[in-house]
Structure formats: C-alpha cells, structure tokens
Amino acid sequence: MELFDTATVLARVLTTGVVMSIEKSDRELPGLERLLTKQTGRARAVLVNSRTAAVHAALAGQGIGHGDTAAVPEPDAALGRFLNWLGVTAGAPGPAACDYVSLDSANADQLGELTRASTAPALVVDLTGLGFGPAAAVLTDDDRVWARAERLKIFGAYDLRTMWTQEEADASLVPGVQFNYRLSPLVAACVRMALTQAARPATPTGARS
C-alpha cells in the first residue's frame, strides 16, 4: 500500500478508539475474517498474531498436542523448535494436519489460487509478508476446529463475549493452557486494505494507441 493509504487506515482505526481485539465493538477483525473466508472459500477464520500461533491453533483445533505426531508442511528450523516446545513431533505419514500459504506483496492477489487445492482440515495463511507486522490466520470448514482454535488465543475466557464475565460456555473446549495470540485491529485493518487493493484489477495508465 501507499503511505497515504496506510495513514488513512490507521487514522480511521485510531479515531474509533478501538485498538485492542478485546473490544466488542471492533469491526476490523471481523472485516478481515470475512475477506479471508470469501477469498479462500473456507467457512471460518481465526486471526492470530504470528505464523507459529496459527500452526498451534490449527493443531490444537484438531486435538493435536503434547505427545502427538502430526504431518506439518514446511517445518523450518524456527517452526521445528516451536513444535518441539509444544511436544508435537512433525513428520507423521498420511494427510497433512494443515496446509500452509505465505502471502507477500508479490502474491497477495493470488490467495484464492494458492489455496484452491487445499484439502487439510485447517489452512494456515501467513500474512506477515504483507509488511504490517506478524499476522496469520487459520481457515477451516470445521466448526469444532474453529471453536478450539478461537479458544486458544484468548487466555482466561471462552471468547470476546465472555472475556469480562468469565462465563463458561463449553467446558469441553477449555485447553490446558491459553495464550495471548490475539491480533491487533490496527494490523488487521492494514492487512485487509492490502488484500483488497491487491484483488482489484490494475488500472490502465498512459495514452492509448
């Protein structure tokens, strides 16, 4: 995005006064979720603040945790160390637990194409390469995977609606440990603008022949 566009988006978010993802009135995170589900064809989206958080959420959403083995795509050294910390062994034979796509300015307009062949229960989309800070998403058609992954990212609460009351909506979803994996609305707003602009047809410039 141009600097002017970025400044416009940031000014819009800051003017609302909603800069944390625990606010019920936030509109930026739901907006990015809708855009990602539309472009990937998946029914549900979980927004988190890093690639490792997304992989963790994708695995936890399927009940994969300490002592388990899972097929994880592209486990580089950093992700390998994280999986080791989780107690999950990468490299299991069989279907992948999640598919993985990394977006940047060069392929931001190809999200639908890049994910069309995805068949895993969860799809991890790394949005960090778009340049607005660590950001990622987990896309899935499975409501149970979505609910578990969503629960993992908000420590001390079932979801944003119950964060202040500490009400327990579904005891079966309570993970052993919860993490502060929430994505900032500021980052979500910039990522959404970048993806929206990338999807627009290029405007012809110059004189016509």
For the stretch 41-67, pLDDT in tens is 999 999 999 999 999 999 999 999 999
Of these ranges, 3-7, 88-92, 117-121, the one predicted with the greatest mean pLDDT is 117-121
Beta strand 122-129 with 69-70 is unpaired
**What pLDDT is stored for residue 108 in this prediction?**
94
**What pLDDT is stored for residue 152 in this prediction?**
85
**What pLDDT is stored for residue 208 in this prediction?**
47
Answer yes or no: are the C-beta atoms of 133 and 139 closer than 8 Å: no
The mean pLDDT of 176-188, rounded to a whole number, is 83
Q: How far apart are CA 82 and CA 103, in angstroms?
A: 21
State pLDDT tens for residues 67-96. 999 999 877 899 999 999 999 998 777 789
**What pLDDT is stored for residue 24 in this prediction?**
63
